[in-house]
Structure 1
Amino acid sequence: MLNFEELTRDELSELAPRALVVVPVGSIEQHGPHLPVGVDCVIVSELARRAAAEAGRTMPVLVTPTLPFGFAQHHVPFGGTVSINVATYQEVLTDIGKSLVASGFRRLFFLNGHGGNDPSVQAVGDRLVFELGLDVHVAAASYWTCAADILAGLDLGIGPVPGHAGAFETSCMLAIAPDQVRTEVLPIADGILQPLAATAMGEAVVRRPGVWSASDGRTDDASGASAALGEKALTAIAERVARFVIDFHQST
């Protein structure tokens, strides 16, 4: 695994024809009173790094810096959030892809760590390959979708995955950056799903007015979070993402 930003233009040009580039995308948004606003960036960056390191044993894998901003308009009322509107965000992702293609790269994987980004991330391949007609293979997925089969059998017992500012994300942060978790202001444990999670319907993407504010910006109780659970989840997800990276590279 190589960090894109640490290489020279000549080194990148030499790698471009045979390498796969992972582009992690996150968000800067509120995560309750106990987690920093950069949670989505921290988690997706860690997963990209681990997956690329594993896949990089058999093939050249580059990881770009994580795009920190995404579509997070639903978090704006809580404060501490930076959001890009959908149309602009799609243009940003497309421009990143176009730049990488112009540098000679032909295998791109956009790895998403924030739910609000998902539709735009899914669309970037269509824009690059079909609308612009570029000679490039593009994959795009949110990490929880890429690893859905693994997560389904993991039985973490900590509520929705990934949820928002709940037990899953808190566990991951305790494993990655425990000093950034404000355990002293963890919301009072109630064991009840917030309206945001309680009204979710997995069969479709559903948007409901007022549900975020009714949920206090969280999906579930984080009191059951632990570093051990976070590490278990991160390890399993990263291994599954690494497998996809290898399979995608081989398919091209």
Structure 2
Amino acid sequence: MTFTPRTHRLADLTWPEIDELRPHAPVAIVPLGATEQHGLGMAQRTDTTRAEAVADMVARRMSPQVVVAPAIPVGMSEHHMGFPGTLTLSADTLQRVVADVVTSLHRHGWRRIFVLTGHGGNNSAVDTVVSRLRAELTDTHLAWSGVTPVVSDLVKQHADSPVRGHSCEIETSQAMYVDPDLVLSERLTRGSATLDDLDPAGRLGRSHPGFHFPQAYDVLSPTGNLGNPRLATPELGALLIDTVVDRICGFLTGLIGLPDRLPAPPPARIALETS
């Protein structure tokens, strides 16, 4: 008999339902987003909504094998603080929040946990905390990814702006597909889309691949976005997001198939010789 949960969202279930679902759902997804400016025509919750929407689509596709934790709606957005309304956490705070959520899931029996971030600014903190947790939770398979990087090959094929990455045609297309209410199409404005649009520091950083020279977005672009969101279409968004879901489902299927990790053995005792 196939087990069919009422929903895959932990926050919408009662604890007895979760207790019943847990043996059938080996994977827990933790969506991680941001509350930050997205140019003149896109809502501040865009990154959170994209992560949550992808997690929901994956869970529905793989039901009942995947549950989804509540999305973490604020991330590392210091580089967007030049625009009103952006909220940010420090790297230390974000890592502690992710660690506490993952540890809570571990304490309730989940041993395959996937952190999905919709905001690239979270990447360094997530990579660090996942690496640390893997060492601490030695019986748990932990992994993470972004949304757009999973389809970087498609981005190269379909992006038109030489300079892009935040509220550009790629991200705006995804937003149009997962939640049209995120986008005010009449307000979309071309941002810094070529190297010539950037100031000298921005041009230096963007013209030398492999070098990290981050700049605040109010310096990079007066509108807060890069690329040209006016080129966005929901059809492109569907292609990108549906492929992201396909690839994450493939990865998580492989994760479920892995042998369980074993708890670390207790440290060896050293016998002290007595004379």
Q: TM-score, normalised by structure 2?
A: 0.80
Aligned: 1:117 with 2:119: no
- Identity fraction in percent: 29
Q: Deviations over 1:2-59 (max 9, x none)?
A: 1111222233234435520011100000000100001101111111111222233xx6
AA matched with 2:238: E
Q: Which runs of 5+ in 1 are unaligned?
A: none
Q: CA RMSD in A?
A: 2.6
Query: Who is 1:187 aligned against?
Result: 189
Q: Deviations over 1:198-219 (max 9, x none)?
A: 9436853613345652323212
Q: Across the two proteins, how many residue pairs are aligned to each other?
A: 247
- Does the Cα contact within 8 Å between 2:190 and 2:227 map onto a contact in 1? no
Q: Deviations over 1:101-150 (max 9, x none)?
A: 111111100011101101111122222231x345321111112333445x
Aligned: 1:93 with 2:98: yes
Query: Who is 1:251 aligned against?
Result: 258
Q: Which runs of 5+ in 2 are unaligned?
A: 1-6, 260-275
Query: Who is 1:20 aligned against?
Result: 27
Aligned: 1:106 with 2:111: yes
SS at match of 1:223: helix
Q: Measured at CA, do residues 70 and 7 of structure 1 come closer, stay the same or move farther in structure 2, by a change above 3 Å? A: same
What are the residue-to-residue correspondences of 1:141-220 with 2, within 5 Å? 141-149=145-153, 151=154, 155-159=157-161, 163-188=165-190, 192=194, 195=198, 199-200=205-206, 203-204=209-210, 206-209=212-215, 212-216=218-222, 217-220=224-227
Based on CA coordinates, which of the two structures has the bigger radius of gyration?
2
Alpha-carbon distance in structure 1 between the residues aligned to 2:116 and 2:110: 17
- Does the Cα contact within 8 Å between 1:54 and 1:239 map onto a contact in 2? no
Shift of 1:246: 1.0
Q: TM-score, normalised by structure 1?
A: 0.86
Aligned: 1:45 with 2:59: no
Alpha-carbon distance in structure 2 between the residues aligned to 1:163 and 1:221: 10
Alpha-carbon distance in structure 1 between the residues aligned to 2:203 and 2:118: 18
SS at match of 2:57: helix
Alpha-carbon distance in structure 2 between the residues aligned to 1:202 and 1:234: 29
AA matched with 2:33: G
- Does the Cα contact within 8 Å between 1:160 and 1:197 map onto a contact in 2? no
Equivalent residue in structure 2 for 1:4, among 10, 27, 50: 10
